[in-house]
Structure 1
Amino acid sequence: MKIAVLGSGIIGTATAWWLLQAGHEVVVIDRQSGPAQEASRANGCQISVSHSEPWANPQAPLQLLKWLFQKNAPLSFRPRFDLRLWLWGLAFLRECLPGRQAPNIQAMVRLAEYSRRTLQAMRADLGIEYNHLERGILTFYRDAGEFETSQKAAGLMRNFGVDRRIVSTDEIMQIEPALIPARSFIVGGDYTAEDETGDVYLFTTALAERARRAGAEFRFSTRVSRLLTEGGRIQGVELIDPEGLYQTLTADAYVAALGSDTLRLVAPLGVPCNVYPAKGYSATFDIVDSDAAPTVSLTDSAHKVVYTRIGKQIRMAGTAELSGYSRALNTIRCDNMLAQARDLFPNALDFATVRFWSGLRPSTPSNVPLIGRTRISNLYMNTGHGTLGWTMGAGSGRALADLISGKSPEPDFPFLG
């Protein structure tokens, strides 16, 4: 079949790669000038099966209420007249019910573990270099109450096979000596040795180039205007080419992997897609003292940020804003991230040349992504991965390629259709 993949982030590019491996003809469309230019450009770089847990949990509503009045809150929600945001918020509250947490974690863990195995196999087969490290992910806590509460979700993960083990403050210092200056305010943590890190941008751009060599067509600087339907099927996709002219691309099947923009594309067709952008931030620092900089990827639970070494740099990423589709930087958030990094690693990083970035994470209320066939028989979706696009990307693309090819995907996951 000829298949049009709309979007060339890690999700779209991985989907295109695995469709090629299944013998399909593939054309990829993206509005940017190259692959991985949006949410995949400068994220936290963690392949974090251990963080495959939803934001929605029984404790979340009270926590969000407290954060509502804090300018520097890890998650910022500002009430606004946006029907999609309110519908998303109501669904989020429903996912906070006690009975929803375990099945959501189970679904996310199964897909994340499958994706990590898939990524490892791709790395071995393709020889792609992307500054990957296999040193695990260490989460540390500053508050004893939060540390105790977090262990419920960690316990559920251990029940599903994720070795997210509790570690003492002493063990934290042994795992990552760069945290020794911060020992006084760390009360404990958990560590998953099997988790990995790596630069998603480097991986995705290299994979796109291999897909191009294998026969995939990439059309960049090309906007998707709308999907054209007739007789209950997609008959074509209307495009605006780099010269501003309209074109129509026809294919046998279509994959919407446009991240947060997927909703705007499929909503006019009556296709359910409860995805809303959660804007995240990152700050990239050059390392000036390698011994004082972390080599293990860290998650600061109190501030909801991560620190990952990528080559000779440290990538700090996190926070979330539910504020529409703007990618404008909030200087308060940037200054706050800079202060946090300076407090933890005052002598390790070059704070004068920090590079800030923001991206829109496509988030579902449950954090379980939307993968599979829609109510339109030849339209598929691969979106809604939230903060776990890199963690779940390779496996999501492979699983959807199996579905399109009429095969049963390996992971036990609630695929659409």
Structure 2
Amino acid sequence: MRIAILGSGIIGISTAWWLNQAGHDVVVIDRETGPAQETSRANGCQISVSYAEPWANPQAPLKLARWLFRDDAPLLFRPQFDLRQWWWGLMFLRECLPGRLAPNIRAMVRLAEYSRNTLRHMRSDLGIQYDHLEQGIINFYRDPAEFESSQEMAGVMRNFGVDRRIVTTDEIVQLEPSLAHMRSSIVGGDYTAEDETGDIYLFTTALAERARHAGVEFRYSTELTRLIPAGGRITGAEVIRPDGLYETVHADAYVAALGSYTPHFVAPLGIPCNVYPAKGYSASFDIVDATAAPTISLTDSAHKVVYSRLGNQLRMAGTAELSGYSRALNTIRCDNMLRLAQELFPTALDFDNVRFWSGLRPATPSNVPLIGKTRIRNLYLNTGHGTLGWTMGVGSGRALADIISGRQPEPEFPFLG
């Protein structure tokens, strides 16, 4: 089949790769000048299977109420005149009901595990270098009450086969000596040795290049304007070419992997797609003292930020803003990230040349992505991965390629259709 992939982030490129490997004729369309230019450009770079848990849980509404008017809150809600935002919020509250937590975690963990295993095989088979480290992730806590409540979630994750080990402050410092000066502020944590880190941008761009050599066609600087329906099918994708002229791209099937923008193109067709942007921030620092910088990826639970070592730089990422589609940087949030990095690693990093970035994570209320068939028989979705696009990306692409090819995908997951 001729298949058009709409979007060239980690989700779109992975889908294109696996469809090509299944023998399909694939074209990738993206408005940017190359792959991984938007949400896959500079995220936190954790492959965090052991933390594949939803934002929506019974404790979330109370936390959100406390954070509502704080500009530096880990999750910031800014009401817009946007019905989609309010509908997303209502569905989020529904997902906070106790009975929704276990099925959402089960789906997320199964897909995340499958994706991590797929990534390991791809790394071995393709020889892609992307500054990956297999050192695990430490999630540390500053508040005793939060640490105590976290142990319940760690137990839930262990019930799903995730090795999330509770560790003391001394064990944390033994695992990651760069935190020794913070010993008095840390009350404990958990450690997941199987988790990984790696530069999503380097991986995605390298995979795109291998896909091109394998025969995938890439059409960059090409803006999708609409999908054209007729007779229960999509008959074409209308685009604006780099020369400014309109063109209709024809294919046998279409995959919408457009991140937070997916609803803009499928909602007019009557396809439900409750995805809303959760803007995240990152800060990248050059390392000036390697002995004082971490080698294990870290999550500061109190502030909901992560740190990942990527070669000779440290990537810090986190926070979420539910405030529409603007990628404008909030100075207060940037300053807060810089302060936190200086507190943790005062001598390790070049703080004078920090590189800030923001991206729009495509979030569903449950944090379970939308993957599979729609009621339009040749239109498929692969979106809604939220903060776990890198964790779930290559597995999502492989699973959808199986679905399109008429095969049963491997992971136990509530695929669409």
* Aligned counterparts of 1:244 and 1:156: Cα–Cα separation in 2: 53
1:391 has 2:391 as partner: yes
What is the aligned partner in structure 2 of residue 226 from structure 1?
226
* TM-superposition CA deviations, 1:290-336 (whole Å, max 9, x none): 00000000000000000000000000000000010000001110000
**What is the alpha-carbon distance in structure 2 between the residues aligned to residue 253 and residue 68 of structure 1?**
43
Q: Which residue of 2 aligns with 1:109?
A: 109
Using the alignment, how far apart are the partners of 1:394 and 1:51 within structure 2? 17
Matched residue, 1:259: 259
Tell me how many residue pairs correspond in the alignment: 417
User: What is the match of residue 371 of structure 2?
Assistant: 371
- Whether 2:123 is the aligned partner of 1:123: answer yes
Give 1:151 shift: 2.0
> Displacement of 1:167 after TM fit?
0.4
Supply the distance in 2 between the matched residues of 1:50 and 1:146 (Cα, whole angstroms): 18
1:43 partner amino acid: N
Q: Deviation string for 1:325-372 (max 9, x for gaps)?
A: 000001110000000000111000000000000000000000000000
The residue matched to 1:352 in structure 2 has which SS?
Answer: helix
Query: Does 1:203 pair with 2:200?
Result: no
Report Cα offsets for 1:265-308 as digits up to 9, x if no partner: 10100100000000000000000110000000000000000000
Residue in structure 1 matched with residue 312 of structure 2 by the alignment: 312
Aligned mates of 1:79, 1:409 — CA distance in 2: 39
In structure 2, distance between residues paired with 1:154 and 1:376: 40
Counterpart residue number, 1:30: 30
Displacement after TM superposition at 1:152 (Å): 2.1
Name the counterpart of 2:72.
72
Displacement after TM superposition at 1:69 (Å): 1.5
1:45 aligns to what?
45
Asked if structure 1 preserves the Cα contact closer than 8 Å seen for 2:178 and 2:291, the reply is: yes
Name the counterpart of 1:14. 14
Instruction: Report the TM-score when normalising by structure 2.
Output: 1.00
1:85 aligned residue: 85
Unaligned runs of 5+ in 1: none
Which segment is superposed worse, 239-248 or 89-98?
Answer: 239-248
Bigger Cα displacement from structure 2, 70-79 vs 282-291: 70-79
Deviations 1:212-238 (A, max 9, x none): 000000000001100000001000000
Superimposed CA distance per residue, residues 189-242 of structure 1 (whole angstroms, 9 cap, x where no aligned partner): 000000000000000000000000000000000011000000010000000111
Give how far 1:400 is off: 0.2
Q: What's the CA shift for 1:50? A: 1.1
Give the corresponding residue for 2:167: 167
| Equivalent AA in structure 2 for residue 414 of structure 1 | P
Letter in 2 for 1:360: L
TM-aligned CA deviation for residue 155 of structure 1: 1.2
Aligned pairs for 1:134-149 within 5 A:
134-149=134-149
- Measure how far apart 1:51 and its partner are: 1.2
Q: Secondary structure at the match of 2:351?
A: strand
> CA-to-partner distance for each residue in 1:137-156, whole Å, 9 max, x for gaps?
00000001111112222211
Look up the SS of the partner of 1:69 in the other structure. Answer: coil
SS in 2 for 1:228: strand
The residue aligned with 1:217 is 217
Match of 1:157 in 2: 157
Report runs of 4+ in structure 1 exceeding 2 Å deviation. Answer: none
**AA at the equivalent of 2:363:** S
Q: Distance in 2 between matches of 1:171 and 1:280?
A: 30
SS in 1 for 2:366: coil
* Identity, % of aligned positions: 77
The letter of the residue matching 1:277 is: P
1:80 deviates by: 2.1
Q: Is the 8 A contact 2:115 2:396 kept in 1?
A: yes
Letter of the 2:400 partner, please give it.
L
Matched, 1:413 2:413: yes
Amino acid in structure 2 at the alignment position of 1:321: E
Q: Which residue of 2 aligns with 1:97?
A: 97
Report SS of the residue matched to 2:365: coil
One-letter amino acid matched to 2:273: C
1:332 counterpart residue number: 332
- Residue of structure 1 equivalent to 2:185: 185
For 1:317 and 1:283, how far apart are their aligned partners in 2?
A: 6
Query: Quick one: distance in 1 between partners of 2:279 and 2:190?
Result: 26
Please state whether the residue corresponding to 1:23 is helix, strand or coil. Answer: coil
Q: How far did 1:36 drift?
A: 0.2
Structure 2 distance, partners of 1:380, 1:153, is: 33
- Give unmatched runs, 5+ long, in structure 2: none
For 1:164 and 1:341, the matched residues in 2 are separated by 25
Opposite residue 69 of structure 1, the aligned amino acid is F
Amino acid at match of 2:313: Q
1:341 equivalent to 2:341? Answer yes
- Cα distance in 2 for partners of 1:111, 1:39 equals 20
Give the superposition deviation at 1:244.
1.3
Q: 2:287 aligns to what?
A: 287
| Structure 2 counterpart of 1:115, one-letter code | S
Distance in 1, matches of 2:251 and 2:125, equals 30
**Distance between the aligned counterparts of 1:404 and 1:398, measured in 2?**
10
What letter matches 1:375 in structure 2?
A: R
Instruction: Give the distance between the partners of 2:223 and 2:51, measured in 1 at CA.
Output: 33
